[in-house]
Amino acid sequence: MAEKKSRTKRRFREEPGDRIFRGLTLGTSVFVILLLIGFVLLLLSDSGESIVKFGLGFLTTSDWNPVETEVNKVAFGALPFIFGTVVTSVIALLLATPIALGSALFVSEYAPKWIGQPIAFIIELLVAIPSVAYGLWGLFVLVPFMRNVVDPFLQGTLGKIPVLGLLFAGPPQGQDLLTAGVILAIMIIPTILSLSREIITQVPKLQKEGMLALGATKWEVLSKAVLPFARGGIIGAAMLGLARAIGETMAVTMVIGNSSTKITPSLFTPGYTIASAISNQFTEADTPMYFSAVVELGLVLLLVASLFNVISRILVNNMAKLPGGAKA
């Protein structure tokens, strides 16, 4: 029915100008789709050599030897980079989520509007800082701070606990996985904050007022009405933060050390993330196989970041469909 209607409309009413207009804008939309398809196809074809040769072993082995030496054969196993990405993004998520969520609750529930809104605006300004600026700050301010203050402190306290202490073993160097995780946390705070703030304001007012009327405290309202309602969306916000942390390149490259491909439990070891490995090694990749392996890193990065992005969208969109969700 609808199709028939639009067809008649097109035949009788669409003028030549409109047809051209629709064609042009349709063309740009098709370009967008082709661009994404092009991305995936090109990365697939350029990493083909490495995919065929190493298969899944690329993701599960940890020898990354681009150059043949007496001891090592040429091999490309991306596990150390994957490990670095997982460790740094988990640290980032663990640090950023409570700060972002607490700030979101503060600006939208606790603070009066005239305080809350400027604060939210200021925190969201963090998004506007380019990642190379975070890298610079990280390299010259955060790295020394971590090396001289935070790392020794962690070693002196948590480092003394058996098992857990392994995370903080070794001499603090500043340029390590932990520092990379901290800079990532700072970078994703505004992402998580602004999305979860949007979601928290979608909680129907009636539910909050209902609980208040029953004599609940503010925190009881938040923990029993607001947060359960917003849970899915907040997890979605965190997932978007995670996707950004996984893909972040410059800031991490500048503080993570980029020197060791060993996997150790200590957060005080320098390492690589997938993204920093690409940026460091892309121009060095002088053999076809080396190049192909670096491009496959890019492919892995694209797939993982997109996956978390999609999960995040689904969770957040589900929120919008809930009763009262669309109104805010």
Partner 1 sequence: MSDAFAHSPKSLERGELRKLLRRQAMDVFMTVLASLLAVLAVSILFTIFGHILVNGFASLNLDFFTQIPKPYGETGGGIAQAILGTLVMLALAGLVAIPIGVGTAIYLSEFGRGRFAATVRFCLELLAEMPSIVVGVFVWAVLVRNVTGYSGISGAAALVVIMLPIIAKSVEEILHLVPDSLRESALALGTPKWRVVFKIVIPTVLPGILTGIVLAMARAAGETAPLLLTALGNSFFNLDLTKPMAAIPLQIYNYAISPYDDWHQKAWGATLILIVVVAVFSAAVRFYTRSKKIEIR
- For partner 1, the binding residues in 163-182 under the rule CB under 8 A are none
Residue 136: CB minimum distance to partner 1, A: 5
Q: Are 255 and 237 in contact (CB under 8 A)?
A: no
**Spatial distance between the Cα atoms of 51 and 57, rounded to a whole number of angstroms:** 9
Q: In the range 280-299, which residues lie near partner 1 by CB under 8 A? A: 282-283, 294-295, 298
The total of other beta-carbon atoms located within 10 Å of residue 288's CB is 11
CB of 234 to partner 1, least distance (A): 14
CA distances from 219 to 101, 109, 223, 244 (A): 14, 10, 6, 31
Shortest gap between Cβ of 238 and partner 1 (angstroms)?
14
Asked if 219 interacts with partner 1 (CB under 8 A), we say yes
Q: Give CA–CA dist 308/236, Å, rounded.
A: 9
Site for partner 1 (CB under 8 A): which residue of 61, 260, 264, 306? 306
- Tokens standing for residue 156: 């002196």
Q: How far apart are CA 105 and CA 31, in angstroms?
A: 41
Q: Which stretch binds partner 1 (CB under 8 A): 55-63, 146-154, 214-222, 261-269?
A: 214-222
Among 154, 167, 186, 238, binds partner 1 (CB under 8 A): 186
Stretch that binds partner 1, among 60-68, 125-133, 198-206, 260-268 (CB under 8 A): 125-133
Q: Which residue type is seen at 248?
A: E
User: Collapsing DSSP states into helix, strand and coil, what is residue 123?
Assistant: helix
What x-and-dash track marks residues 18-57 binding partner 1 by CB under 8 A? x-xxx-xxxxxx-xxx-xx-xx--xx--x-----------
Q: Is 250 in the site for partner 1 (CB under 8 A)?
A: yes
Q: Kindly state the smallest distance separating residue 23's Cβ from partner 1, in Å.
A: 10
Residue (of 79, 99, 78, 80) closest to 177 by Cα position: 80
